[in-house]
Amino acid sequence: MGIVEKIKEIEEEMARTQKNKYHLGTLKAKLAKYRAQLLEPTGKSGGAGTGFDVQKSGDARVALIGFPSVGKSTLLSKCTHTVSETAAYEFTTLTAIPGVIEYQGARIQLLDLPGIVEGASQGRGRGRQVVSTAKTADLILIMMDATKSDEQRRLLEYELDAVGIRLNKQRPDVVFKRKTTGGITLNITVRLTKTDEKTIRSILASYKLHNCDVMIREDITTDEFIDVLIGTRKYMPCLYVYNKIDAISMEQLDKLARTDHTVVISCEMSLNLDYLIERIWAELGLVKVYTKKRGAHPDLNDPICLRKGATIEGVCVGVHRSLVTNFRYALVWVSHLPLSKSDTGLFNCHCQGKSSKFAPHAQKVGLSHLVQDEDVVSIFTK
Ligand SMILES: Nc1nc2c(ncn2[C@@H]2O[C@H](COP(=O)(O)OP(=O)(O)OP(=O)(O)O)[C@@H](O)[C@H]2O)c(=O)[nH]1
Ligand SMILES: [K+]
Ligand SMILES: [Mg+2]
């Protein structure tokens, strides 16, 4: 029996076992194991888990996932200088097409992908290739047709979930360590309301984990516990994008727009596209830092873009690798401080219409100093 059949069998058994929580846990563990196998490369080139071969570029990657003809390629063509073929028929796009969104000095790679169908995660169409590519992104845009039923959202979430992508979720607060001897030490520091100790132990047994330390510090579900054991889950931010709002009523539009993590747009009428890009920027949590040479004003037109949580070391690497080895210290001017009685001492900067104010005194910092959005940095070397 192939893996797909085995999965189907377990799913059927699960449907019959709804009430027996303990048995359900074991079945879920089995199911997760088979699904993981499904995604393992088969050894042949272009194996199951391989995505499209598109080089990453820019400061971040955003992947477009959706059913056929929801307008993914139209969006790419509108927001970037790349043209991706669009048409009224399904499966117009057959491969991954990268474009670049330029915003706030950042270069964000937007990846147009083929439409996926139900069953994509189990190998239907190019589904597995598409979802594997999605895993390489920093943000997923789930694109939908606002004129169609909201069932599409649940189906897409299911497909991504099946390949281990967890959308807009934090990694569960569970510590899990394998050991070679000593049995199982299970430490639960909160009251579990969605699963219980017996189920947790049965899942450990079904994974043949007889020696390990487990500390559960959050009210997790059975599925979340299995995710921790499998360990390869990817926790990714996601925006739900409803396109074609030119074709729905105001009432429908209002309802969609109020949903969490959701943006409504019309590619064809160019409605709300700027806002979508703002939201993409915010979700990515990019930080831009301006560099400044001694005695000169910072160059506001050429920021270095870094991830949230980046340090001075990241800034050095962004300029030139050698700066890390020869690093002595950096000076940081924090921007946008609330202005005091007088502006004197703040250095003002005007550059092609942009204007910013920075604190008069720089802070002397080392490589591990965290940088904030819009900081000005001078690096001093040996
Ligand atoms: N009414 C309306 N139609 C749109 C909008 N955006 C795209 N379309 C139409 O939707 C159809 C599909 O657009 P595509 O961009 O090819 O869709 P896709 O998601 O890339 O499709 P596949 O590559 O086949 O998966 C085209 O006929 C577009 O003109 C929109 O905002 N409103
Ligand atoms: K299409
Ligand atoms: Mg397309």
- The answer to the question of residue 1 being in a domain is no
For residue 264, is pLDDT > 90? Answer: yes
Q: Are residues 204 and 78 in the same domain?
A: no
Q: Are residues 198 and 302 in the same domain?
A: no
The pLDDT score that the predictor gives to residue 4 is 78
Q: Are residues 259 and 320 in the same domain?
A: no
Going from the Cα of 146 to the center of ligand 2, the distance in angstroms, rounded, reads 15
Q: Which of 331, 338, 333 is nearest to 360 (CA)?
A: 333
- The answer to the question of residue 332 being in a domain is yes
Q: What is the pLDDT of residues 20-73, one digit of tens each?
A: 777 888 888 888 777 766 655 443 434 445 678 888 888 899 999 999 999 999
Tokens of 362: 């720089």
For residue 99, is pLDDT > 50? Answer: yes
Q: Which is more confident, 149 or 335?
A: 149
Burial (CB count <10 Å: 0-12, 13-18, 19+), residue 334: middle
The pLDDT score that the predictor gives to residue 36 is 66
For residue 196, is pLDDT > 70? Answer: yes
**Inter-CA distances, 321 with 301, 337, 366, Å:** 22, 31, 16
Which atom belonging to ligand 1 lies closest to the Cα atom of 269? 31
> What is the number of the ligand closest to the CA of 66?
1
User: Which protein residue has the closest C-alpha to ligand 1 atom 3?
Assistant: 244
Q: Which of 382, 317, 331, 380 is nearest to 360 (CA)?
A: 331
Going from the Cα of 339 to the center of ligand 3, the distance in angstroms, rounded, reads 49
Per the structure, the complete domain to which residue 191 belongs is given by 173-219
Q: Are residues 191 and 66 in the same domain?
A: no
**Which amino acid, 238?**
C
* Distance separating alpha carbons of residues 180 and 316, to the nearest angstrom: 42
Instruction: Tell me, letter by letter, the H, E, C secondary structure of 271-321.
Output: ECHHHHHHHHHHHHCEEEEEECCCCCCCCCCCCEEEECCCEHHHHHHHHCC
Pocket test for ligand 1, best of 141, 144, 267 (most atoms within 8 A of CB): 267
Burial (CB count <10 Å: 0-12, 13-18, 19+), residue 45: exposed
User: Which protein residue has the closest C-alpha to ligand 1 atom 1?
Assistant: 244
Give percent of the chain above pLDDT 90: 56
* Distance separating alpha carbons of residues 106 and 21, to the nearest angstrom: 49
The whole-number average pLDDT for the span 82-111 is 90
Question: Per DSSP, which regions of 194-250 are E strands?
Answer: 212-216, 234-236, 238-243
Mean pLDDT over each residue of the chain, to the nearest integer: 86
Q: What is the pLDDT of residues 289-339, one digit of tens each?
A: 999 888 888 878 788 888 888 999 999 998 888 899 999 999 999 876 444
Q: Are residues 143 and 79 in the same domain?
A: yes
> What is the number of the ligand closest to the CA of 75?
1
Going from the Cα of 125 to the center of ligand 1, the distance in angstroms, rounded, reads 19
Strand, coil or helix: 226: helix
CATH number, domain at 105?
3.40.50.300
Who's near 171: CB < 8 A, 6+ residues apart?
233, 235
User: Which protein residue has the closest C-alpha to ligand 1 atom 2?
Assistant: 244
Strand, coil or helix: 266: strand
Going from the Cα of 90 to the center of ligand 2, the distance in angstroms, rounded, reads 4
Q: Are residues 164 and 110 in the same domain?
A: yes
Going from the Cα of 151 to the center of ligand 3, the distance in angstroms, rounded, reads 21
Q: Are residues 207 and 79 in the same domain?
A: no
Q: Are residues 73 and 163 in the same domain?
A: yes
Q: Are residues 105 and 245 in the same domain?
A: yes
Q: Which is more confident, 340 or 236?
A: 236
The pLDDT score that the predictor gives to residue 51 is 75
- The answer to the question of residue 38 being in a domain is no
CATH number, domain at 300?
3.10.20.30
Going from the Cα of 75 to the center of ligand 2, the distance in angstroms, rounded, reads 12
Which residue ranges have their beta carbon within 6 Å of ligand 1? 66, 68-74, 86-88, 90-93, 114-115, 243-244, 246-247, 266-268
In DSSP terms, which residues pair with 178 in a beta bridge? 212
Q: Are residues 215 and 322 in the same domain?
A: no
- The answer to the question of residue 101 being in a domain is yes
Going from the Cα of 64 to the center of ligand 2, the distance in angstroms, rounded, reads 13
- The answer to the question of residue 89 being in a domain is no
* Distance separating alpha carbons of residues 116 and 376, to the nearest angstrom: 44
Q: Are residues 310 and 238 in the same domain?
A: no
In DSSP terms, which residues pair with 271 in a beta bridge? 266
- The answer to the question of residue 359 being in a domain is yes
- The answer to the question of residue 25 being in a domain is no
* Distance separating alpha carbons of residues 61 and 59, to the nearest angstrom: 7
The pLDDT score that the predictor gives to residue 43 is 39
Buried b / exposed e along 209-219 (16+ C-beta atoms within 10 A): beebebebeee
- The answer to the question of residue 3 being in a domain is no
Going from the Cα of 91 to the center of ligand 2, the distance in angstroms, rounded, reads 6
The whole-number average pLDDT for the span 138-159 is 94
Q: Are residues 144 and 65 in the same domain?
A: yes
Pocket test for ligand 1, best of 86, 141, 241, 270 (most atoms within 8 A of CB): 86
User: Which protein residue has the closest C-alpha to ligand 1 atom 9?
Assistant: 71
Which atom belonging to ligand 1 lies closest to the Cα atom of 85? 16
Q: What is the pLDDT of residues 240-261, one digit of tens each?
A: 999 999 999 999 999 999 999 9
